Amino acid sequence: MAGALVKIDQIIASGNPNTLKVTGIDSTYDVYVMYFKNVVPSVDERLGVRVTKSGVIQTDSEYDNARTGMPVNGSFQDNEDVNDSKILLGTAESTGDGAFGMVYLFDFNSSSKYDFITFETLMYASTPQLFGEVGAGVHTVESASDGISFFWESGATFSSGQMTLYGLKK
């Protein structure tokens, strides 16, 4: 895959923001991917994601998703949400190295299709235990999106984190 990824944008958390937003999606690529690492909340919290349209974060109730949690010390956990205001990626601890993962973005540049994502995450849950999660989500609005935003479900801030958006060459 060498040379297949083209860096579009990157954000590094500073000043304890409530939201991290990366934009730059257009019709140049069909598929985009967001890598994130060392994403740490100010308190133990669930990481959520939303799309942006013209730079505006979409907080409507048009998000559907399904995910499987894979805790090291327990059984798999299947979860889903329909008509929610976000897609949840898992719970991260406020101590340690934080959350790591990748989110693939499909059909974001289409004005006549829904925005789809798939994701894989790795983080420590509040028990504490290593916790992996895989899943997919959709924003059920037919209009082009230009980015993605991350936030903590209860309004915690980002103590640290880096998020990088890449275009996947056709």
**pLDDT at residue 126, as a whole number:** 64
Per-residue pLDDT of the chain (170 residues; tens, 9 = 90+): 557 999 999 999 999 999 999 999 999 999 999 999 999 999 988 899 999 999 999 999 999 999 998 888 888 989 999 999 999 988 888 887 889 999 999 999 999 999 999 999 998 776 667 889 999 999 999 999 999 999 999 889 999 999 999 999 87
Instruction: Answer yes or no: are the C-beta atoms of 69 and 132 closer than 8 Å.
Output: yes
Please tell me the distance from the alpha carbon of residue 149 to that of residue 22, in angstroms, as a whole number: 6
**pLDDT at residue 118, as a whole number:** 97
**pLDDT at residue 105, as a whole number:** 97
**pLDDT at residue 127, as a whole number:** 66
Domain ranges for the chain = 5-168
Give the C-alpha distances (Å, rounded to integers) separating 142 from 102, 107, 115: 24, 10, 8
**pLDDT at residue 2, as a whole number:** 59
Residues whose CB is less than 8 angstroms from the CB of residue 2 and which lie 6 or more positions away in sequence, other chains included: none
Candidates 40, 33, 71; CA nearest to 152 is: 40
